[in-house]
Amino acid sequence: MRRARVRGSEFAEDATEQAGWMYADLFLGLMVIFLATISFVPTITPEKNTAEKPKSELNSMKLDDGLVKLYSTFIPEEVKADIEKYLTDKNQDLNSTVLYVQLTGGYDPKIENSSVGVANAVQFGVEMKQKAPELFAGVSFTISTSTGVPSQTVGVRMALAPGATK
DSSP per-residue string spanning 116-133: HHHHHHHHHHHHHHHH-H
Domain extent for 20: 13-39
- Same domain for 25 and 81, yes or no, is no
Region 138-162: mean pLDDT is 87
pLDDT band with cut points at 50, 70 and 90 for residue 35: confident
CA angle (62 as vertex; 122, 93 as ends), nearest 5: 85
166 in a structural domain: no
Region 40-48: mean pLDDT is 59
Residue-averaged pLDDT of the chain: 78
35 or 142, greater pLDDT: 142
Per-residue pLDDT, 40: 57
Total domains in the chain come to: 2
- Same domain for 141 and 87, yes or no, is yes
pTM above 0.75, yes or no: no
Per-residue pLDDT, 78: 92
The answer to whether the beta carbons of residues 134 and 89 sit under 8 Å apart is: no
- Same domain for 30 and 78, yes or no, is no
pLDDT tens-digit readout, 65-76: 678 889 988 888
- Same domain for 85 and 134, yes or no, is yes
- Same domain for 62 and 120, yes or no, is yes
Per-residue pLDDT, 47: 58
- Same domain for 30 and 108, yes or no, is no
Query: What one-letter code names the amino acid at 76?
Result: P
Region 132-141: mean pLDDT is 86
Query: What one-letter code names the amino acid at 43?
Result: T
